[in-house]
Amino acid sequence: MATLREVSSVTVGGKGSALSSASVYAIANGLAQVRVDSSVLDKLSPTHPLSSTSLDISNSNPRYLTLEEARASLVVLLNKLVLTQTGIRPVLPNFISETLNREFAPETLDFSSVSGFLDSFLRLNGTNLEETGVTDGELVVLKNSSYYLDGICALLDCSSSALSTTAEAVAALSCEGLKADVSMVLNFLDSGDGFSIKDEIAVASDMKVLLVGSNLVRSKLVGSSNDSESISEIPKVHGSFREVVRLIHSRTRVELNSSVKIGKAGSGFSVGSGKPLVTTFSPLATSLLLLGESSFRRAELLASYQNVDIRSRVLEMFEMCCPNVDSLRDGFRLALQAVSEVNYLSFLHEIYNLVGRVREILAWEGALAILSLDSFELEEKTPEVTAVPSRVEAGKGNANAEKKSQKKKKVALGKGTAVIRQLIKDRLKKEGGDLVESLAVLNDWIRDLSLFFNPKDPELDAFLKKMKEIVESNEARRLPKLPKGTRDFAKEQMAIREKAFKIIEEVFKMHGAMALDTPVFEMRETLMGKYGEDSKLIYDLADQGGELCSLRYDLTVPFARFVAMNGITSFKRYQIAKVYRRDNPSKGRYREFYQCDFDIAGQYEAMGPDFEVVKVLTELLDKLNIGDYEIKLNHRKLLDGMLEICGVPAEKFRTICSSIDKLDKQSFEQIKKEMVEEKGLTVETADRIGTIVKKRGPPLEILSELKQEGSQFLENNGSVLALKDLEILFKALDKSKCIHRVVFDLSLARGLDYYTGVIFEAVFKGTTQVGSIAAGGRYDNLIGMFGTKQIPAVGVSLGIERVFNIMEQLEKDGSQSVRATETQILVSILGDDLSQAAELVGELWSANMKAEYLVNKRVMKHIDRAKESRIPWMVIVGEREQSEGVVRIKDIEANKEEVVPRDRVVEELQRRLNSTSL
């Protein structure tokens, strides 16, 4: 929204132009002139037939508006006329622009009816209705556009936008004036759980920016204080106000710039209407009430927080002169009463009055905050009187202690609030000083701040711009900060990552998998409904060109979409790429992370792909050499059979599975409480589930137990099929000598909705606590969701970020060693001849050797570089070597050197590197 001082001249109409609330406010308050674009006037018809319709059309409006409201109404009417064009002559737009560019008394215009308005308006412009007449098009605009309501809406929009920013600036000053605990304010910053309210986060973030560097506020909870509620409610109250202001701004912009459609019979309709405006602006009345009450409470606290010498007088002045909460509630009631009486103009008028009352309370809060901060500075400058020490205490140590005790901590305001305070004090032309003197001018301060906080004041623009500049400069976060749940990878971590990816790719390719890449975002409809309760963790993107997209949650659903789109019936693929989850970050749990997926889609022998996928997982984890792990395995049909046996209704299978899946993190008692109290199971059913899900152990042993005669699982068709599948799978895993890595665990549920068969999850058993490191299963119905064919598939996904954490810890512990670079040779030129280094290192690069160079006169610089980067070989060339046509080749680990001819250096290094690799 343009600021008022930027709109000293407003052109209505013209290509691409749009009327803003700031423009309406500026013209309404005589801060800007208005003109109609000449190209628009040319399009209007000067000879359109006059209306024969009766003008006895009543609007049930008050006869007169205030001057500001009348001028705002005329601006909107002017815009409606030039936008509508059909049946509009230039005469009315010209009269309106001329009227707005001169002074007139508000009582000269009668808004009570169309005829009353036309008659009074034309007389104001030296003509009358008989001479000028009115067309059907002009009449329809006057009757249907609600221009008088839209004008006041524009005033409210502009005023409330300014009030929102001003209120936050004053609230920040109050936090310091009260030496408040702002920990509860900062707690509103995004927790990462996906359920935070955007505007509350924004207010808390801006408050943090304004208060950064302040030693007056506390950012950690220290006991309890009477200011806790009035401070902790700032994000909620101000965030709600921001949200409402944004809503009314959007609505007002539409209302101001909508034309009136003219029908064939001269009838018409417009977007503008009183009822929608009430729906939009009623929340503004509520938010103003809450904002005013919150500001009043802080102002009252500030009054009682003043220096003891003036406290009682300040409180007395505050109680007598500051608009109280009752006056706000009276204004709110009047607005609601106007709605019940269907008097929409009066409704908006009362809200506008409410804005004025809140502005005055903010002036009190701001003035008292400044007074409080002035008193802190005065106390700082006042020397502290200390008792004379006794002779016993008169030693040197006590003298130093006394000096130390006399030192006071200098008052430091926040980087943002210091600027705000100075801007306000510059306006007040007051530099602090004696408190009694300040009290004498307190009334002047409040009166001046009430004017200053009004959008009519020319100095408010500079204040609002400075506020925006402070917040956007983001002093509190000027030091770069990573978003929660993400991480950077430095050179050592990148080396570990590249090593891991190389191993993983080799294993995937060894099994004949082909690489695939898919977009980082998908159509939202592609992802939704595939992840059960975890769907709430999908990152949605803003609407761009009518397509609703989301960041991919995993690589499996995009793979299924790709297979279906391309009509593929058989595909063994791998993909290593980033996925995104709007999760609550914790140790080993990220919002952005890599997944390494291996999937087999198509018709194969029974359990063949399932066996290969589990085998691939064991090979990956063995070759990554991270330590001990286990693969928990279950079958979705067995799980569903168990739930059916226990008496769980079929429609609750998936939600109960989500609860059971948490058993690795929570006790069964916690899960039982969730299943009973939140998901509606009986206690008996939950207990039966608890008895079965506790079964876990060696696969063949547990399988044998479940297949014993009399087992309930043998009476359930789904369970029987699952047990047959598992028998085939376990025998294959046994023969491939990896079944010792697998644990048959009936509590494993995997909350994702698309699993239909075998499900598994790899868990690291070492000291580094990272949780699940890989998971997967069979999903026979997922691909069919995107096409006409059901293509069975099974896959595994390795959560590589958690594997990285384990490998990094092993590196720190010395269990594994990874170099940040693969550099084999350091070319060391002892001097300053770059060309010599370029020649030699160029020969090594041409021979496909991994080499770096360093040009420096100090020998130890070269040796330190080689040791730090763990480069095994050095080629050293100094003045002596250059003159003799030789180089020295140094083995860093063995600490041995050998002189070789310069022309044989490449050949010699190749020989040494080849022998080392052997």
The pLDDT tens digits for 877-915 are 999 999 999 999 999 888 899 999 999 999 999 998 887
Q: What is the DSSP string of 662-706?
A: GGGTS-HHHHHHIIIIIT---HHHHHHHHHHHT-EE-HHHHHHHH
Residue 493 lies in a domain: no
Give 65-97 pLDDT, tens digit per residue.
899 999 999 999 999 998 888 888 989 999 999
The enclosing H or E element of 666 equals none
Give the tokens for residue 256: 């101001």
Which class for 659: exposed (0-12), middle (13-18), buried (19 or more C-beta within 10 A)? buried
User: What is the per-residue pLDDT for 621?
Assistant: 93
Quick one: pLDDT band at residue 817, thresholds 50, 70, 90? low
Residue 2 lies in a domain: no
The shares of helix, strand and coil residues in the chain, as percent rounded to the nearest 5, are 55, 10, 35
Quick one: pLDDT band at residue 394, thresholds 50, 70, 90? very low
User: What is the per-residue pLDDT for 270?
Assistant: 43
Give 221-250 pLDDT, tens digit per residue.
444 444 578 888 999 999 999 999 999 999
CA distance 494 to 492: 5
Side-chain half-sphere CA neighbours of 723 within 13 A: 21
**Residue 530: C-alpha distances to residues 535, 654, 751, 774 (Å):** 7, 12, 10, 19
What is the domain-level CATH number for residue 514?
Answer: 3.30.930.10
Quick one: pLDDT band at residue 155, thresholds 50, 70, 90? very high
Residue 483 lies in a domain: no
Report the range of poorest mean pLDDT among 231-240, 411-420, 604-613, 648-657.
648-657
Segment 488-510 shows an average pLDDT of: 88
Residue 522 lies in a domain: yes
**Residue 834: C-alpha distances to residues 720, 839, 859, 862, 890 (Å):** 76, 9, 16, 15, 21
Nearest 5°: phi and psi at 635?
A: -130, 130
**What is the chain's mean pLDDT, rounded?**
84
Task: Give yes or no for a contact between 129 and 46, defined as CB atoms under 8 angstroms apart.
Answer: no
What is the domain-level CATH number for residue 94?
Answer: 1.10.275.10
Quick one: pLDDT band at residue 716, thresholds 50, 70, 90? confident
CA distance 159 to 288: 12
Residues 210 and 187 in one domain: yes
Residues 809 and 839 in one domain: no
Residues 659 and 708 in one domain: yes
Segment 634-658 shows an average pLDDT of: 85
Which class for 704: exposed (0-12), middle (13-18), buried (19 or more C-beta within 10 A)? exposed
User: What is the per-residue pLDDT for 289?
Assistant: 95
Give 188-212 pLDDT, tens digit per residue.
665 544 456 788 888 988 888 898 8
Give 567-598 pLDDT, tens digit per residue.
999 999 999 999 999 887 776 678 898 999 99
- What percent of the chain is modeled with pLDDT above 90? 43
User: What is the per-residue pLDDT for 697?
Assistant: 92
14 or 272, higher pLDDT:
14
User: What is the per-residue pLDDT for 290?
Assistant: 95
Which class for 884: exposed (0-12), middle (13-18), buried (19 or more C-beta within 10 A)? exposed
**Residue 154: C-alpha distances to residues 101, 112, 117 (Å):** 19, 20, 21
User: What is the per-residue pLDDT for 367?
Assistant: 92
**pLDDT over 60 at 59, yes or no:** no
Residues 6+ apart with CB under 8 A from 353: 331
Q: Which domain holds residue 247?
A: 155-261+272-380+443-453
User: What is the per-residue pLDDT for 226?
Assistant: 47
Residue 530: count of CB within 10 angstroms of its CB: 20
Residues 6+ apart with CB under 8 A from 656: 643, 648, 675, 679, 681, 689
Residues 182 and 312 in one domain: yes
**pLDDT over 90 at 46, yes or no:** no
Side-chain half-sphere CA neighbours of 868 within 13 A: 7
Tokens 């709430």 correspond to what residue? 536
Provide the number of structural domains found in the chain.
5
Last residue of a domain, one of 431, 453, 475: 453
Report the range of poorest mean pLDDT among 223-227, 302-306, 549-553, 723-727.
223-227
Residues 584 and 673 in one domain: no
Residue 644 lies in a domain: yes
User: What is the per-residue pLDDT for 223?
Assistant: 43
User: What is the per-residue pLDDT for 588?
Assistant: 64
Quick one: pLDDT band at residue 499, thresholds 50, 70, 90? confident
Segment 111-116 shows an average pLDDT of: 86
User: What is the per-residue pLDDT for 543?
Assistant: 75
Task: Give yes or no for a contact between 507 and 530, defined as CB atoms under 8 angstroms apart.
Answer: no
C-alpha Rg value of the chain to the nearest Å = 38
Residues 42 and 134 in one domain: yes
**pLDDT over 90 at 509, yes or no:** yes
Residues 707 and 789 in one domain: no
Quick one: pLDDT band at residue 640, thresholds 50, 70, 90? confident
Residues 291 and 351 in one domain: yes
CA distance 805 to 813: 12
* Residue length of the chain: 918
Residues 755 and 771 in one domain: no
The enclosing H or E element of 307 equals none
Tokens 């009276």 correspond to what residue? 330
Residues 708 and 777 in one domain: no
Segment 330-358 shows an average pLDDT of: 91
Give 841-852 pLDDT, tens digit per residue.
999 999 999 999
**pLDDT over 70 at 531, yes or no:** yes
What is the domain-level CATH number for residue 189?
Answer: 1.20.200.10
Residues 28 and 129 in one domain: yes
User: What is the per-residue pLDDT for 436?
Assistant: 53
Residue 534 DSSP symbol: G
Q: What is the DSSP string of 149-181?
A: HHHHHHHHHHHHHHHHHHHHHHHHHHHHHTT-B
User: What is the per-residue pLDDT for 622?
Assistant: 92
Give the tokens for residue 830: 């002892």
**pLDDT over 90 at 630, yes or no:** yes
Residue 813 lies in a domain: yes
In the sheet with 873-877, reading across from the earlier edge strand, the strands are: 851-855, 825-829, 873-877, 886-891, 896-901
CA distance 494 to 819: 10
Give 435-486 pLDDT, tens digit per residue.
555 667 788 889 999 999 999 998 998 899 999 888 887 654 555 678 888 8
Residue 304 lies in a domain: yes
Task: Give the residues across from 633 on adjacent strands.
Answer: 744, 760
Tokens 């459609």 correspond to what residue? 261
121 or 490, higher pLDDT:
121
Give the tokens for residue 370: 């400044």
User: What is the per-residue pLDDT for 590?
Assistant: 85
Going by their DSSP bridges, the two strands 825-829 and 793-799 should be labelled as unpaired
491 or 369, higher pLDDT:
369
Report the range of poorest mean pLDDT among 41-50, 737-746, 821-830, 867-876.
41-50
User: What is the per-residue pLDDT for 431?
Assistant: 46
**pLDDT over 80 at 57, yes or no:** no
**pLDDT over 80 at 337, yes or no:** yes
Residue 105 lies in a domain: yes
Residues 65 and 51 in one domain: yes
